[in-house]
Structure 1
């Protein structure tokens, strides 16, 4: 690429112009990334445990997880008092009757249980271990269900003076049905 007049000066000028043009081209190419080594993203195949949420999608090869054909049997404690709660411990002097509301919640998701219940109305002052009354009942509760009932005991004497009492769930034995 020559410009200007022929001869030595023109050649030099042309050489300088060519070198300057080449320098401009190299600078432009370098700035645009043409002469730099190209970096290509590395795409790895999805791992066997890849899920759609990890960016691999579901189109890659995958291994099917293995599951037991029968679920493990739930274990249970035959003492079901942890499954039972009580409220409204009361005595009606006109009916001469103790009452106590009992709720039983079966924590199992698969099994029904029969709960053999015992509720005692105990002497509170002095707390000498004497029971005023006892209520017993068996009740079946389905998986995940709650059954509520009112335990009752009627006192056989016609006049009852002032006394202190408390309600206690003394037994909640559970048996798988």
Structure 2
């Protein structure tokens, strides 16, 4: 399976990040052999890859749209996914238990959309796109001071530092 440049983000952002740019070419994890199955396993999500692929692709597009252009039209796409399910709660042994009522093919997508709402309910200003204009990855900034700019310091951050250094060296006589 292809090695992704950014992993470990919240479910919604990790779904969006299943597409990335590598050497100027858009890579889609779901087009890789066992890429979708591996992603489901990584997130402990059940579902037949054949049944969940189209809903996940649709959800990924809807989430990317709302991240890039958060307007009413983009919100409609996410709301259409949210409308495919609901949660029912019960009390057992003194603890709340959630039981989602969602078609199995849409459950991973619905969970990703719910996760996006959870992120918005926490600190929405910490949902960020990488500072590299050529990068399409998103992250949830968990740094103490909330000033993270890059998807990763090893990748985009290091390239930006190198570019600044090169520029300083070229400008300085």
Both proteins in one fold, TM over 0.5: no
Higher percent of residues as strand:
1
Instruction: Mark the structure with the bigger radius of gyration.
Output: 1
Scaled by the length of structure 1, what TM-score is found?
0.22
Larger RCO (alpha carbons 8 Å, 6+ apart) = 2
